Amino acid sequence: MTRTAYVFPGQGSQYVGMGRDFFENFTLASEMYEKANSILGYELSAICFQGPEETLKETRYTQPALYIHSMIVATLLKEKGIQAAAVAGHSLGEFSALGVAGAYDFGVGLKLVHERGTLMHNAADACQGSMAAIIGLDAEVVIGLCREAQPKGMVQAANFNSPGQVVISGSVEGVERAIALARNEGAKRALKLPVSGAFHSPLMQPAAEQFYKVLDPMTFSDPRIPVYANVTAQAYTSGAEIPDLLCRQLTHSVRWIETIENMVTNGITRFIEVGPGKVLAGLIKRINKEVEIISAGTVEDIESIR
């Protein structure tokens, strides 16, 4: 029996034009974009559909753009009768996962994502950092190289994405030193990512502290289906955990490999990537070759899923 999980992408999956096909073909989508424009106080739909790319790539715009796209796709999948038995999201995608699981409504989630993106944008401006992808080395080796690079500057493993792919994050000097060490160690690739902030590292602590002030007074519902958290790779036990886990996510590693492995162990046999791009589909293929993986980022994709 097929048990389906929705997985939601994070930053890096956005592209100019994303969501336009949904806006033009579904009243539900156009209404959600209009609601988002009203809540945010600017034309998010115009940034998504027309760009420019440099604007869409800014964290404060990227995050709401990905959130609304994923929420539209998830709603259409549900309307089609394709229900999720569990959900997870990569970094920002965890907010979509919690929304789909009923922890909060669409508007609350959008406001949280907007706040998170703005705080991360400001933290990145205040303390310039860097991230890099290390390909072809075991995770433990990369962790050791980050430790060895520490005298040059703070750097840590930020995303355990798939076997042989770890993203590191930290100060510019720390990341550059870790890249050099990785190349000497025989990494297939070690390259900087086009981001301005050291996401999922202690350099995001100012953003985490401010975000906790936003989240702590709020009341969240218990998720109706299992939502796997980035920082634990385990399902939330209650809505009361949300402030702590979402704030820790800003400064801690995304344990994506463990998350997918735990979902498979708990009976998931099919993953649907709910949102733009196919980044997560590629990662999951490298984590587990036995499960079914489907990308659902366009109207055409939705229509083809059974």
Neighbours of 119 (CB within 10 A): 21
In Å, how far are 37, 74, 125, 172, 190 from 298, measured between CA atoms? 21, 12, 33, 36, 32
- Whether 62 and 44 have beta carbons less than 8 Å apart is answered as no
Looking at the structure, do residues 217 and 140 belong to the same domain, yes or no? no
Q: Is 200 part of the annotated catalytic residue set?
A: yes
**Tell me, what's the pLDDT at 306?**
84
Query: Which of the residues in the chain have pLDDT under 70?
Result: none
Could you check whether the bond before residue 226 is cis, i.e. omega within 30 degrees of 0? no
Looking at the structure, do residues 114 and 22 belong to the same domain, yes or no? yes
- Give the residue from 147, 163, 192 where a domain finishes: 192
3-class secondary-structure state, position 172: helix
Q: Could you tell me which residues come within 8 angstroms of residue 153 by beta carbon, excluding any fewer than 6 positions away? A: 170, 171, 172, 173, 174, 175, 177
**Tell me, what's the pLDDT at 154?**
97
- Give the residue from 192, 224, 239 where a domain finishes: 192
From the candidates 13, 45, 70, 91, give the one annotated as an active-site residue.
Answer: 91
**Measured distance CA(236)–CA(98) in Å, rounded:** 10
Residue 113 lies in a domain: yes
**Tell me, what's the pLDDT at 97?**
98
Q: Is 91 part of the annotated catalytic residue set?
A: yes
**Measured distance CA(5)–CA(2) in Å, rounded:** 10
**Tell me, what's the pLDDT at 196?**
76
**Tell me, what's the pLDDT at 1?**
79
Looking at the structure, do residues 103 and 12 belong to the same domain, yes or no? yes
From the candidates 96, 200, 253, 295, give the one annotated as an active-site residue.
Answer: 200
- Whether 62 and 14 have beta carbons less than 8 Å apart is answered as yes
Tokens found for residue 156: 């840590």
**Tell me, what's the pLDDT at 109?**
98
**Tell me, what's the pLDDT at 195?**
83
CATH of the domain at 242: 3.40.366.10
Q: For the chain, what is the domain count?
A: 2
**In terms of Cα–Cα distance, which of 73, 56, 74 is closest to 11?**
56
Looking at the structure, do residues 120 and 134 belong to the same domain, yes or no? no
Amino acid in the structure at residue 224: R
Q: Which residue segment(s) compose the domain that 133 sits in?
A: 129-192
**Tell me, what's the pLDDT at 118?**
96
Q: What DSSP designation does 222 have?
A: P
